Amino acid sequence: MNTILVGAQWGDEGKGKIIDVLCEEADIVVRTQGGDNAGHTVEIGSEKYVLRLVPSGILRPKKQCVIANGVVIDPLSLVDEIEGLQKRNITIKGKLWISETAHLVLPYHRRIDEQRELRKGDGKIGTTKRGIGPAYGDKAARTGLRMIDLVQPKVFSQKLRARIDENNAILTSLGGEPLDFAEVEKSYLAAGAILRPYVINTVPWLHDQIQKKKRILFEGAQGTFLDLDFGTYPYVTSSNTTSGGAVTGSGVPPHRMDRVMGVVKAYTTRVGEGPLPSQNEELSDMLHAMGREFGARTRRPRRCGWFDSVATRCAQMINGIDELAVTNLDGLDTIKTIPICIAYECRGKRLKYVPNDAAELAECRPIYKNFKGWLTPTGDVRKFSKLPKEAQIYLKAIAELTGAKLRIISVGAGRDQTFKV
């Protein structure tokens, strides 16, 4: 079964741990979009791994991993990640393949990203300033450089010089410092030499694996409401984080996909700016005090709120979510009454959908249905039937309100704390 795994909220849903579990029944893991601005965290025993570009399947033996064409790659960051994994005795050679048509994130992308965000002042969107948006912008403008360029030194140097000349003019106009061509060329060609053995045309490779009946798991970064088309624009990322992005980001057609699994937290979080109707400061303070809800890549504190079923219903429609994985259930273990947002009130109307206008969404007020808390630790539970009755009722409500079948529950960060229903 070929599976697309998507975040059904604003990202940071715990996709890394779910991917790690689903890897048991997959042969290949494909990363289909995003850049190194988001991380997947996987804990195995006492070891903690934060993956930025390399698919989570790399942590399991005999699994093949692909960084596909929809991803934007900072070669220096990827080399650093690969070398960091190798130092921890994770095998990379023969297990990782990189699409030759994946676009590059270059230093001018990061500097332009930073300057644009600084100039917005109070109107900032909360970008990580890692150059992801400008890199996708160059891709759309047909001026981007790709992995296929990087592994051809003469071609890369020629194209890089032209792009640095143009972008230095942009940087100067924005008040930033221009880049030194020789310095950038040297460091990126060195990274290209290290990455060259991994770079292939991944589309025929993937289709060959499909012919061999290999099972493929497609993973992305961020979540549905950070999608460029369907998210809370402009407070979004620069790629398609929804299930459609797995198709265009890999070259595997829709009729080869067998199911879509959505990942949600038992509550709601988001990083950066933008509306979050069910945001609750008391819940945020409690989770932060527990050492939870800080960005895996950026360490920024996440904004936290109660579970928003209005959002997850929309995510189910957009992605075609068949099955649901619920993470961080244990984060609610000490709460007596747990609200779920079942609708919005906005401008005198009751809404059961997420408005497309971010300004309108910011005016929405949550309408809650309260559920009784279980007030007992769940971190040691390994079966759904062993969860407290109140927790079972809460989880069934999340699935019913979302419109998907409950499939996986996670009650902690460890690999062994995630189980199937």
Residues labelled as active-site residues: 12, 40
Contacts of 416 (CB under 8 A, 6+ apart): 382
CA atoms of 364 and 348, how far apart (whole Å): 10
* 8 Å CB contact between 264 and 300: no
**Mutual angle of helices 309-319 and 389-402, in 10-degree steps:** 50
Runs of H (alpha helix) within 333-388: 358-363
* Residues linked to residue 346 through DSSP beta bridges, in sequence order: 349
Q: Is the dihedral of CA 395, 399, 405, 407 positive or negative?
A: negative
For residue 34, which of 244, 296, 220, 273 has the smallest C-alpha distance? 220
How many residues belong to the chain? 421
Maximum CA pair distance of the chain?
65
List phi, psi (to 5°) of 103: -80, 155
Which residue, chain included where needed, has tokens 């409950």? Answer: 406
CA atoms of 150 and 305, how far apart (whole Å): 43
* 8 Å CB contact between 192 and 75: yes
DSSP of 217-260, one letter per residue? EEE-SS-GGG-TTTSSTTSS-SS--SHHHHHHTTT--GGG--EE
* 8 Å CB contact between 220 and 16: no
CA atoms of 217 and 219, how far apart (whole Å): 6
Tokens of 284: 């945020």
How far, CA to CA in Å, does 359 sit from each of 158, 228, 233? 45, 17, 10
* 8 Å CB contact between 381 and 333: no
* 8 Å CB contact between 338 and 370: yes
